[in-house]
Amino acid sequence: MAADHRTVVVGSGIAGASAAFGLARRGAAVTIVDDGAVGQATAASAGIIMPWATSDDGPFYDLYAAGAAFYPELLALLADLGITRTDFRRSGGLIVNADPDLLDQSYQRVIGRKQAAGAAGAVIGSVEKIDNAAARDLFPPLAEGLDAIFISGGGRVDGRTLRDALLQAATQLGAERVVGHAAVDHDGTRPVTTVDGRQLPADSVVVATGAWSRDLLSGLGYQTPVQPQKGQISHLRVEADTSGWPTLHPISHHYLVPFDDGRIAVGATRETGSGFDTRVTAAGQLQVLQDALSVAPGLADATLIETRVGLRPLADDLPVAGAVPACPGLYVTVGYGAGGLTMGPRIGDAIARLIIGEPAPEIEAVAPRPA
């Protein structure tokens, strides 16, 4: 692609950073714009990379699974640029529950998906039922009475670290970064982006502003089907080496995600209709801690380090990624809800291919529809 093709990417969360890196590594001139709004979902995300146990099916699951399968390639691309820190670790995942029927349903779902994927299912790793004692060997604070399924291919990544790695990679390849509030318009031929009143020349624009996308695009007559969903997630610290502990999934809305240095992220609330409220609330904090201790009472003496709040870009159904109808040169990549760190890198790369004229068939199901 000619380096004189200019693309502005609005938003520097996982969706925008991934698209920017995908474009920069293919030779496009890229400018990344972000105003640093409080509540970026990527900055507060849990970082679970284990889509195979989800009850969602169809196109959503296809995108989810493809996102996890893309990680080895993504990490290799970053390593080629000398960027090796993403805090990604494939330490496995534990699905836990006291109901053997629920566990068996999850087991059959994962096994079926692995078999259906053929050789591509290798990323899932081994899938085995284990008893409570074996599960507690892997995750010591776990409650008694909960048996488990262990999926060795499950992973986790720190959203902030991965985002920064992608942005660093993009800038190493020539991308520029601009801090400020962007507005997007269209002159009938190409999109027009201004940042705090200053126009940025561009042949194409990618809107990757998450929960804020609807407001940014509303003036163009395109209503992005995305609303903010508040998520409060707390970080605990224990006096143990947690680097190899698996993520914990109790077949519910909550989860526990161990990182290095004794840090464990626990959450999260799913506050649909929250608007852009980024406060830590008493009720939210109570829910997060009660949920965590209900499955891992051994964390009762852990130190509460912080609580982060992110505004997930929640779509009506599927994410939205691709070219905006009737607006040549304008693209969106939004609406990943709680699955952004899994799906965002793969879809960002597909958006980059779409812009430079290469096939991107994996996102046809989520292309923006005419108003």
Degrees (nearest 5) of the Cα angle 121, 58, 291?
80
Buried b (16+ CB within 10 A) or exposed e, 164-192: bbbbbbbbebebeebeeebebebeeebbb
Is 74 inside a domain boundary? no
**Tokens 């464990």 -> residue:** 264
Q: Are residues 267 and 291 in the same domain?
A: yes
Domains contained in the chain, number: 2
Q: In the beta sheet, which residues pair with residue 127?
A: 151
Last residue within a domain, chosen from 298, 314, 330: 314
Burial class (CB in 10 A: 0-12, 13-18, 19+), 290: exposed
Last residue within a domain, chosen from 314, 339, 358: 314
Is 113 inside a domain boundary? yes
Structure tokens at 142: 């776990």
pTM: 0.96
Q: Are residues 126 and 149 in the same domain?
A: yes
How many other C-beta atoms lie within 10 A of the C-beta of residue 314? Answer: 23
d(CA 320, CA 322): 7
Is 59 inside a domain boundary? no
Is 83 inside a domain boundary? no
Q: Are residues 360 and 241 in the same domain?
A: no
d(CA 48, CA 257): 7
Q: Are residues 186 and 170 in the same domain?
A: yes
Is 260 inside a domain boundary? yes
Q: Are residues 164 and 305 in the same domain?
A: no
Q: Are residues 231 and 305 in the same domain?
A: yes
Q: Are residues 182 and 275 in the same domain?
A: no
pLDDT in the model for residue 190: 93
CB 180 within 8 A of CB 194: no
Q: Are residues 308 and 165 in the same domain?
A: no
pLDDT in the model for residue 4: 73
Task: Characterize the bridge pairing of strands 93-97 and 247-249.
Answer: parallel
Is 128 inside a domain boundary? yes
Range of the domain at 10: 6-44+160-226+316-366
Is 64 inside a domain boundary? no
pLDDT in the model for residue 223: 85
pLDDT in the model for residue 296: 98
Q: Output phi, psi for 242, to 5 deg.
A: -100, 5
d(CA 191, CA 206): 10
CATH number of the domain to which 291 belongs: 3.30.9.10
Q: Are residues 23 and 147 in the same domain?
A: no
Q: Are residues 234 and 356 in the same domain?
A: no
CATH number of the domain to which 359 belongs: 3.50.50.60
Is 165 inside a domain boundary? yes
Last residue within a domain, chosen from 314, 335, 356: 314
Q: Are residues 260 and 143 in the same domain?
A: yes
d(CA 24, CA 122): 30
pLDDT tens digit at each of 371 positions of the chain: 456 789 999 999 999 999 999 999 999 999 999 999 999 999 999 999 999 999 999 999 999 999 999 999 999 999 999 999 999 999 999 999 999 999 999 999 999 999 999 999 999 999 999 999 999 999 999 999 999 999 999 999 999 999 999 999 999 999 999 999 999 999 999 999 999 989 998 999 999 999 999 999 988 888 888 999 999 999 999 999 999 999 999 999 899 999 999 999 999 999 999 999 999 999 999 999 999 999 999 999 999 999 999 999 999 889 999 999 999 999 999 999 999 999 999 999 999 999 999 999 999 999 998 76
Q: Three-state SS string across 81-147, please?
A: CCCCCCCCECCCEEEEECCHHHHHHHHHHHHHHHHHHHHHHHHHCCEEEECHHHHHHHCCCCCCCCE
d(CA 338, CA 188): 35
Q: Are residues 197 and 181 in the same domain?
A: yes
Degrees (nearest 5) of the Cα angle 155, 161, 165?
105
